[in-house]
Amino acid sequence: MINDIYPFGACFIADSALSMECDRGKIEECGEQELCGAVVLQEHIVKNGEVFSERKIPEQLMDIFAGGNYGLAFMDNSMAKEQRRFALRSLHDVGFGKATLERVVGNIIWNITFGITLEFENPELVKFRQIQQDTIPLLANPFMMFVEQFPFLRKVDFLIGSPTKKLAKLNENIVDYFREEIRTSEANFNPDNRPSCYVEAFLGEAKRRADAGEPIRNFHFTQMLNCASTLWAAGFNTTVSVLRMAIIELVNHPEVQRKMQKEIDYVIGERRIRNEDAKLLPYTCAVLQEVTQLLLAPQSFLSSRWFTTTEEFYRPDYFCPERHLNEHGIFVKDSRINPYSIGKRSCIGEQLARMESFVMTATFVQSCNFTPVSKVPPALEFTTGLSRTVEDFLVKIQPRN
């Protein structure tokens, strides 16, 4: 069983009951074991995926965010297999990974989950972004770690500002909105039509089971609500984190920004960028991979032993996209740099998230210039909660002529 999965699959802490072989001999019942490094993780987490497919459930966080063990993130193994298979199948059926989604790239997560699009000025988008910003420092509060070990502390958290109650309130604001969207989908649902989004696919599966006299099992409203919430939160946060990191690095390294623009101008011109263009833009892909590597190296987590070690990466803290190009200028994908984890519990939205990150970043660089607001470029500072993101910074954005 996996006790903890540190951000993005960089480091795994295995259960004390685990027995396995490694290059140092047999490891058996010796307390928590840290599996770290690309080769070791590939050997055990991927090749022995079933052994590592369980995940310890953070019961207090799940109670705050989901009201129990629901959603797609921290399910027990049998539920995870069923729900992941269904999610992957239904997301593919509604357009997951297809070119049609590129036309709504700014609204993808809403479109694929609820079948709706929101205008850029929609106050709900602004509100949800603010809620996420308010949530991160609460999740990073050391008190949350103690709450998992000593649940009674939730009853006295008012002594340090009530972080668990604030988390619950923030989450309630989002869940209430999702609940209304799902109710609307239920009212308009026609089982004779092909599902246009994840929620409709979920409703269709629940009806199919009911009509066939099969047990509903995990296809109930609470699970649907929390799956939708999980998809939205994961899809929104991952892409935004990559974009923020990319922009601040381009501001601090204008020569990299110019190289990206030169490549995009030469290969793409002014037409809309598509996901399939990635193979034509090696330098742009190298920049994104370098951005991801820097984003995956949190100093406050054990994963920093992998992403910041000179054994894995030469000068890992130095921004150098060229390290991901070979001598012929061809982009070399590095399997060690993976923000979507590995093994049986890897992110089901990896394909979508990669497409979003590439298309959005390349489109921004194609259309805009990013410069500092003063002679001093913005400092690279981070907040760390369940994931790592760049602190707010000021940047001047101007359309390219």
| Residue set of the binding site for heme | 347
CB 243 within 8 A of CB 360: yes
* Residue from 400, 91, 41, 360 nearest 230 by CA: 91
Record the tokens describing residue 245, joined without a space. 């990191």
Rounded to whole angstroms, the Cα distance separating 182 from 387 reads: 27
Q: Please report where in the chains the tokens 């890897």 appear, as a residue.
A: 346
Distances (CA, A) of 150 to 74, 157, 289, 385: 19, 12, 39, 20
Residue 314 is given by DSSP the state S
CB 258 within 8 A of CB 371: no
As annotated, the binding site includes: 347
Distances (CA, A) of 96 to 102, 193, 313: 10, 18, 33
Task: Tell me the angle at which helices 163-188 and 142-149 cross, rounded to the nearest 10 degrees.
Answer: 80
